[in-house]
């Protein structure tokens, strides 16, 4: 269980193009999803936290107008890289925390790990 699907796996496109990446939780619901970026031979860096039904919260230094996040349902978050340039080329990974407990199912279950998608390799020419 706890499968996160990310699509597409690879994207190669021209500079100036906008690219949308989807992150879906297949067998659970999630009010909170996360978007990370990883440059070659580096660690994962959190870009933003995606909150279902409300605005995403961005980490310091991440341009919210450049990286648009939409979390319209409990199983889908999207990241759109607008007007992508070669420096945006990277590996983008999403994750999700399943909803918890019987008392309030609207709260992410802090007793569960984050589950990750397989990532999207974005190359901007």
Interface ranges with another protein (CB under 8 A)? 32, 34, 36, 38, 43-46, 49, 51, 57, 91, 93, 95, 97, 108, 110, 112-116, 118-119, 121
3-state secondary structure string across the chain: CCCEEEECCEEEECCCCCEEEEEEECCCCCCEEEEEEECCCCCEEEEEEEECCCCCEECCCCCCCCEEEEEEECCEEEEEECCCCHHHCEEEEEEEECECCCCCCCCECCCCCCEECCCEEEEEC
Nearer to another protein, 34 or 84 (CB): 34
Q: State the minimum distance, in angstroms, from the CB of residue 67 to another protein.
A: 17
Q: State the minimum distance, in angstroms, from the CB of residue 75 to another protein.
A: 18
């Amino acid at each position: 269980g706890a499968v996160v699907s990310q699509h597409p796996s690879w994207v190669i496109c021209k500079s100036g193009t906008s690219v949308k990446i989807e992150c879906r939780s297949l067998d659970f619901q999630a009010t909170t999803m996360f978007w990370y970026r990883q440059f070659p031979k580096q660690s994962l860096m959190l870009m933003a936290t995606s909150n279902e039904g409300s605005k995403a919260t961005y980490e310091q230094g991440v341009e919210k107008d450049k990286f648009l996040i939409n979390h319209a349902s409990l199983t889908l978050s999207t990241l759109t890289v607008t007007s992508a340039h070669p420096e945006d080329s990277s590996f983008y990974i999403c994750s999700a925390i399943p909803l918890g407990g019987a008392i309030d199912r609207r709260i992410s279950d802090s007793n569960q790990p984050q589950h990750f998608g397989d990532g999207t390799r974005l190359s901007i020419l």
